[in-house]
Amino acid sequence: MSSTTDKLKGLANEAVGNVKQGVGKVTGNDRLVAEGKTQELKGEAQRTVGEAKDGIKTAADHLTGCH
């Protein structure tokens, strides 16, 4: 997966996770709150992977002189 794809999927999972948590809190559904938190954390991890890929590419470009 490209860094952009990782970041976009991560943001989407974070958003869906936040919505699930909100709905779960409003409806008193603890399972939905937990699912939402899990999905949000998954999204944060995906986004972090995408950002790390960008950082590695930038560092490699600087080392090889490709800007």
Structurally, how many domains does the chain consist of? 1
pTM (two decimals): 0.80
For residues 26 and 38, give the distance between their C-alpha atoms in angstroms, rounded to a whole number: 18
Helix (H, G, I), strand (E, B) or coil at 17: helix
Phi/psi at 65 (5° precision): 85, 10
Q: Provide the pLDDT for residue 1.
A: 78
Q: What is the pLDDT of residues 1-58, one digit of tens each?
A: 799 999 999 999 999 999 999 999 999 999 999 999 999 999 999 999 999 998 888 8
Task: State which residues form the domain around 12.
Answer: 3-64
Q: Using pLDDT thresholds of 50, 70 and 90, give the confidence band for residue 67.
A: low
| pLDDT surpasses 80 at 66 | no
